[in-house]
Amino acid sequence: MKAKPRIAIYKMSSCAGCQLEFLNLEPVLLDVVGALDFSYFVMARRGNLPGPYDIGFVEGAITCGEEIEKLKQARKDCKMLVALGTCACYGGLPSIKNWVPQRVVEGLVYSDLSAIHSTKAYSIDQYVEVDAFLKGCPVNKDELVEFIKGALLGIRPYLRPHSVCVECKLHENVCLFTSKGEVCMGPVTTAGCGALCPSNAKACDGCRGPANDANTESLAHAFLAHGLHKNDIIRKFRKFAGLTPEFSKGVEVV
Partner 1 sequence: MSGKHIRVDYLARVEGEAALDVRVRDGSITSLQLNVFEPPRFFQGFLVGRKYDEVPGIVSRICGICPVSHQLTSIMAIEDAMGVKVSRQTRDLRKLFALSQYIQSHALHIYLLAAPDFLGYESVLSMVPDHLQVVARALKLKRLGNDLTTLIGGREVHPVTAVVGGFTAIPSRADLLSIRERLVKAKADGLATIELIASLSLPDFQWDTEHVALTADGEYAVNAGRLLSNKGLDIPVWEYRGHIKEKHVPHSHALHSYIEGRGSFLVGPLARVNLNMARMMPEARQAAMDSGVFPSLNPFHSALARAVELVHSIEESILLIDRLEPVEEERDYVIQAGEGFAITEAPRGILYHSYRINDQGVVEAADIVSPTAHNVHNMEQDLWRFVPTVLDLPEEEATLKCEMVIRNYDPCFSCSAHFLKMKVDRG
Helix (H, G, I), strand (E, B) or coil at 184: coil
Task: Please compute, for residue 162, the number of CA atoms within 13 A of its CA located in the half-sphere on the CB side.
Answer: 9
Question: In sequence order, which residues have a C-beta less than 8 Å from that of residue 7 and are 6 or more positions away?
Answer: 36, 37, 38, 39, 40, 41, 53, 54, 55, 56, 57
Q: Give start and end residues of each alpha helix (H) in 154-253.
A: 164-170, 176-180, 196-199, 216-225, 230-237, 245-253
> How many chain residues interact with partner 1 (CB under 8 A)?
62
179-161-159 Cα angle (round to 5): 120
Check: CB of residue 184 under 8 Å from CB of residue 204: yes
* Residue 27 binds partner 1 (CB under 8 A): yes
From candidates 7, 9, 130, 137, binder to partner 1 by CB under 8 A? 137
* Residue 46 binds partner 1 (CB under 8 A): yes
Q: Which stretch binds partner 1 (CB under 8 A): 93-101, 124-132, 160-168, 242-250?
A: 93-101
From candidates 1, 2, 50, 115, binder to partner 1 by CB under 8 A? 115
* Residue 3 binds partner 1 (CB under 8 A): no
Q: Which stretch binds partner 1 (CB under 8 A): 25-33, 125-133, 161-169, 215-223?
A: 25-33
* Residue 20 binds partner 1 (CB under 8 A): yes
From candidates 5, 56, 91, 92, binder to partner 1 by CB under 8 A? 92
From candidates 31, 42, 72, 162, binder to partner 1 by CB under 8 A? 42
Report the DSSP beta bridge partners of residue 9.
Answer: 41, 57
Check: CB of residue 92 under 8 Å from CB of residue 59: no
Q: Which amino acid is at 191?
A: A
Q: Give start and end residues of each alpha helix (H) in 78-207.
A: 86-90, 102-107, 141-153, 164-170, 176-180, 196-199
Q: Which stretch binds partner 1 (CB under 8 A): 40-48, 142-150, 156-164, 219-227?
A: 40-48
* Residue 96 binds partner 1 (CB under 8 A): yes
Q: Which residues are at the interface with partner 1 (CB under 8 A)?
A: 11-21, 23-24, 26-27, 29-30, 33, 38, 41-48, 63-64, 66-67, 92-94, 96-97, 100, 104-112, 115-116, 118, 121, 137-138, 196-197, 199-202, 205, 232, 235, 239
